[in-house]
Amino acid sequence: MERWHRRWPDASWREYLAAGESESKLNAIRRYTHTGRPLGDAEFVHLLERETKRLLTMQKRGPKKRAHREERQDTFSFG
């Protein structure tokens, strides 16, 4: 909490809360909450990806491309 109090002394925190949020910021919070993605700049999201070892940025939708495979399958013989 010490770090918090250094960044947000009581008066500053009250001032911040009293200012409220713009409609665009509230819409961004709602959108990112709905998608489950972190809300922040690219550097912040990249840091989270490194820390969690997970992809958090939006990926291309749809099925993933499969590795190329041979048209003809090898056959096994028992005998």
Residues 6+ apart with CB under 8 A from 39: 28, 29, 32
Question: So what's the pLDDT on residue 70?
Answer: 61
Query: So what's the pLDDT on residue 60?
Result: 86
- Say which residues have a Cβ less than 8 Å from residue 37's Cβ, sequence separation at least 6: 45, 56, 57, 58
Kindly report the pTM of this predicted structure: 0.53
In a domain, 9, yes or no: yes
CA atoms within 13 A on the CB side of 68: 0
Domain residues for the domain of 8 are 2-52
60 located within any domain? no
Q: Are 41 and 34 in contact (CB under 8 A)?
A: no
* Listed residue (1, 27, 24, 25) closest to 13, CA to CA: 1
The pLDDT tens digits of the residues spanning 6-65 come to 888 999 989 988 998 899 999 999 999 998 899 999 999 999 999 999 999 888 888 888
Higher pLDDT, 78 or 3: 3
Domain assignment of residue 67, yes or no: no
Check residue 68 and give its pLDDT. Answer: 67
